[in-house]
Structure 1
Amino acid sequence: MSNNNEEDFRRYIWIDKTQGVIDISVEMVDWLGPHEPKREYRIVKKLPLNTSDDQLERELKKLTSDDKYFARCAQCNKANLRGHMHDEYICHTCAEKHHGIVH
């Protein structure tokens, strides 16, 4: 991914250095109903507190390219959390706006 893409997805990542470890969390979206998103940060990686800045940067690059958590809409090109995608390629907004899908 280019730096631009990484920056787009990094807004969904939280890094917390506590209790001797570095926790890397990703914002997740679960749906309680059609218009009821539930957002929370979930820890997806733990690193030793003495992890170098270079190693942390490599881990973040790997994470921002992981399609388990992130996707880019093929129609509007917006960076999205996986939970905001209608399917593998189209985000919820474009599915509603351009494809007649009702959520």
Structure 2
Amino acid sequence: MTDSNNIDDFKKYIWLDKTNGAIDISVEIVEWLGPHEPKLEYRIVKKLPLNTSDVQLEQELKNLISDNRYFARCAECKNACLRGRMHDHFICHTCAENNHDVVH
């Protein structure tokens, strides 16, 4: 089983921007406009001072990936997922479709 706090699994969903005198941490958010119409956008969820150490930044990222408002890990395939790509609190859309005959 993969470590649920492995930052690398979630990095593709996180954007760091070091401009305007701060480190902005943004997360990719999925909103559904319709059954097959996802809307993807990055939202700033945390601002840190530019002098934040690498150790502090890593801890902030670990805290972020543990936040179930944004991320989850599928109980079946163990993949890191955005909350908006989860069928429920436990399984992702792909596993719901492939393993449980769910049609999205």
Given the two structures, how large is their TM-score scaled by the length of structure 1? Answer: 0.91
Q: What is the distance in 2 between the residues matched to 1:63 and 1:4?
A: 10
Give unpaired runs (5+ residues) of structure 2: none
- Decide whether the 8 Å contact of 1:23 with 1:43 is kept in 2: yes
Query: Which residue in the other structure is 1:45 paired with?
Result: 46
Secondary structure in 2 matching 1:11: helix
Query: Which residue in the other structure is 2:31 paired with?
Result: 30
**Superposition deviation, residue 70 in structure 1:** 0.8
2:65 pairs with 1:64: yes
Q: What is the distance in 1 between the residues matched to 2:102 and 2:68?
A: 23
Secondary structure in 1 matching 2:56: helix
Query: Which residue in the other structure is 1:7 paired with?
Result: 8
Give unpaired runs (5+ residues) of structure 1: none
**Which residue identity is paired with 2:27?**
V
Q: Cα 1:40–1:59, aligned 2, differ >3 Å: closer, same or farther?
A: same
Q: What is the distance in 2 between the residues matched to 1:75 and 1:24?
A: 29
Query: Which residue in the other structure is 1:18 paired with?
Result: 19
**Superposition deviation, residue 67 in structure 1:** 1.6
Identity of aligned residues (%): 71
2:95 pairs with 1:89: no
**Superposition deviation, residue 81 in structure 1:** 0.4
Q: Note the aligned Cα RMSD (angstroms).
A: 1.7
**Which residue identity is paired with 1:85?**
M
Given the two structures, how large is their TM-score scaled by the length of structure 2? Answer: 0.90
**Superposition deviation, residue 91 in structure 1:** 0.5
**Which residue identity is paired with 1:6?**
I
Residue by residue over 1:27-74, the C-alpha shift from the partner in whole angstroms, topping out at 9 and shown as x without a partner, is 111111111111111000001112122211111111122222111111
